[in-house]
Amino acid sequence: MCILVCHNPVVTPQLPGDICPLVLLSCDSYIAARRKWCKKYPSMELRGLFQYLVNQLKKGSGIELVLLQELIQQMANVQYTENMTEEQLDAMAGSETLRYQATSFGATRNNKALIKSTNRLRDSLLPKDEPKLAIPLLLLIAQHRSVVVIEADSPHIKMVCEQLDRCHGSLLQYVEFLCGAMTSVNSYAQLVPDLHDLIHLYHLEPEVAFLIYRPVMRLFRCQTTSDVFWPLDCDESSSSSAQGKEGELILDIGPPRKPVTWSDLLETVRTVLPAKAWNSLSPDLYATFWGLTLYDLYVPRNRYESEIAKQHAALKALEELSDNSNSAITKRKKDKEKIQESLDKLTSELQKHEENVASVRRRLAREKDNWLSSCPDTLKINMEFLQRCIFPRCTFSMPDAVYCAMFVHTLHSLGTPFFNTVNHIDVLICKTLQPMICCCTEYEVGRLGRFLFETLKTAYYWKSDESIYERECGNMPGFAVYYRYPNSQRVTYSQFIKVSWQSRDNNIKY
């Protein structure tokens, strides 16, 4: 009824398009009530709403996506938010259990009602005997994101930015829901189109296509070691014989899809950008950058240890309870089992995460020499890398902003030939920062600020002490004076501390 009223010109003749989402947001209570009905009455029909959203997106209208956001939040407890605390943002780099502990928004993991409503939502999008709407809805949201600025019906730039941020938030939330609701990554991989179709058939932007396809990339496995999947490094015995052979990685998710080798993926990647872009980048580096996640580069050990300490404190608090009635003892036993289960998961996942980061780093260290060495135009490496990789992803989400800074630090610490760290920071601040700020929405500029904060935090850590500088920068190719020659003399500490990055308008200094 709210949707019909909002779109009825007879009922609301003076309602402008940019106010309509605010009207729809008042449907929160309606969606919450509907969620309760869906739990109580499993036969409640949801497909009508999803079909309506698909039809509206086909017409170019995306304001009703606020309903999808509320439905996913209420029924699956998947919430999109930009306002994460430092602890929550740090936890986003961790394992599934750690992320859930930080962003569960009050819902317990084994909540039967939540599991049931999540499955109801998934089954409504993926019915067995009716046309499936999950992927058409996903593709339409992604396509609408690409045109919302061009086709927005609001004359106010701020309203247009809000519409883009809202659509982008719906996309992130919906992809997270799909990945979490599917029974396995293989099931998700069989649903989504391949990377070539996402970009060339459905005309999605590369950053959106990789958001959708990134979980599928983790199903590429080593042919010589079938239990090792990308981006983990193959065993030493297999990696020595397979080094440089991209065909050793293969994706086989079963019929009707044909097996895809890593070299096939790189051929698709080569078609993503203009030919001249590959003069300063390589498909290997591009695919690696867009395929990895923050989980692969960084272990938030402090967050793991903090959550483990909380679980130990909760166990101790239960043991100190004095109520010895039968019901209290039974309840205490169940609570202890739940806490112990979370504790065991966090401990094992911390160890697994550390092993994952170490293995990924071994693979990157083995591949780094081939990323930029064959690029004929080394002068434009940093500009192309910022334009094609860093800026599209660092404004995508807060975790992606942190990831971009971590990836740059990884390139530096690995000693990647022809990647000059000093020039990267210089190009970022002096040549590209101001135009980028002017092109960002309110949420995007916050993410860009996070990336800049993480980048400069590392730079000023290097400046803080000469011993730190000598240990982490003194002999690295990223600090070569002549960045076209990685083995040339290095920037000294006394030279580095005198560097003052200044933006083009001469008003902002770092």
Per-residue pLDDT of the chain (510 residues; tens, 9 = 90+): 444 444 444 444 444 444 554 444 445 555 555 555 455 544 557 888 999 999 999 998 888 999 999 999 888 888 888 888 899 999 999 998 998 887 765 455 557 888 888 899 999 999 888 889 999 999 999 999 999 888 877 778 888 899 999 999 999 999 999 998 998 999 999 999 999 999 999 999 999 999 999 999 999 998 877 788 999 987 654 544 444 444 479 999 988 889 999 999 999 999 999 999 999 999 999 999 999 999 999 999 999 999 999 999 999 888 888 777 888 888 888 888 888 999 999 999 999 999 999 999 999 999 999 999 888 888 899 999 999 999 999 999 999 999 999 999 999 999 999 999 999 998 898 888 888 898 899 999 999 999 999 999 999 999 999 999 999 998 899 999 887 777 888 889 998 888 766 554 444 444
Distance of CA 408 to the CA centre of its chain: 16
Q: Are residues 26 and 174 in the same domain?
A: yes
Tokens encoding 380: 């434009």
Q: Do 24 and 3 touch, CB atoms closer than 8 A? A: yes
Three-state secondary structure of 7-71: HCCCCCCCCCCCCHHHHHHCCHHHHHHHHHHHHHCCCCCCHHHHHHHHHHHHCCCCCCHHHHHHH
**pLDDT value of position 11:** 41
CA distance 453 to 121: 39
Q: What is the pLDDT of residue 84?
A: 87
Tokens (6 digits) for 397: 């989400």
The DSSP line for 354-366 is: HHHHHHHHHHHHH
Angle at 196 between CA 191 and CA 198, to 5 degrees: 55
What pLDDT is attached to residue 36?
A: 53
Termini Cα distance of the chain? 54
Contacts of 328 (CB under 8 A, 6+ apart): 321
Q: Within a domain: residue 25?
A: yes
Q: How many helices (H) and strands (E) does the chain have?
A: 26, 3
Do 24 and 170 fall into the same domain? yes
Strands of the 221-222 sheet, one edge to the other:
221-222, 249-251, 260-261
Distance in angstroms (rounded) separating the CA atoms of residues 178 and 167: 16
pLDDT score for 102 = 78
With respect to residue 269, please indicate whether it lies within any of the assigned structural domains. Answer: no
Q: How far is CA 497 from CA 371, 427, 463, 491, in A?
A: 30, 18, 6, 10
Q: How far is it, in rounded angstroms, from Cα 140 to Cα 147?
A: 11
Please tell me the predicted confidence (pLDDT) of residue 430: 85
Q: Report yes or no on 44 lying in a domain.
A: yes
State residue 81's pLDDT score.
Answer: 85
**Judgement on whether residues 166 and 25 belong to the same structural domain of the protein:** yes
Of 181, 209, 244, the domain-final residue: 181
Cis peptide before 256 (omega within 30 of 0): yes
CA 202 – CA 275 distance, rounded (Å): 21
Per-residue pLDDT at 186 = 92
Q: In terms of Cα–Cα distance, which of 331, 325, 416, 306 is closest to 372?
A: 416
* Structural domain span for residue 82: 2-181
Q: How many whole angstroms separate alpha carbon 189 and alpha carbon 418? A: 35
Q: Tell me, what's the pLDDT at 414?
A: 96
Distance CA 29, CA 57 (A): 24
- In a domain, residue 392? The reply is no
Residue 278 inside a domain? The answer is no
Domain assignment present for 51: yes
Distance in angstroms (rounded) separating the CA atoms of residues 346 and 414: 29
Q: Would 107 be classed as within a structural domain?
A: yes
195: CB partners within 8 A, 6+ apart? 209, 210, 213, 265, 268, 269
pLDDT at 240: 46
- Give the alpha-carbon dihedral of 28, 33, 39, 44, to 10 degrees: -100
- The helix (run of H) or strand (run of E) holding residue 93 is none
Location of structure tokens 């530096």: 412
Name the 3-class secondary structure at 509.
Answer: strand
Estimate the crossing angle of helix 65-76 against helix 28-40, to 10 degrees.
50
Among 128, 153, 181, the domain boundary falls at: 181
Q: Is 176 within 8 Å of 401 (Cβ atoms)?
A: no
Q: Number of structural domains, the chain?
A: 2
Query: Among the three residues 181, 208, 232, which one is the final residue of a domain in this structure?
Result: 181
In a domain, 262, yes or no: no
439: Cβ contacts below 8 Å, ≥ 6 apart:
none
Nearest to 312 by CA among 351, 286, 347, 288: 347
| Residues 166 and 305 placed together within one structural domain of the fold | no
Say if strands 260-261 and 221-222 run parallel, antiparallel, or are unpaired: unpaired
pLDDT for the residue 106: 46
Alpha-carbon span 166 to 20, nearest angstrom: 13
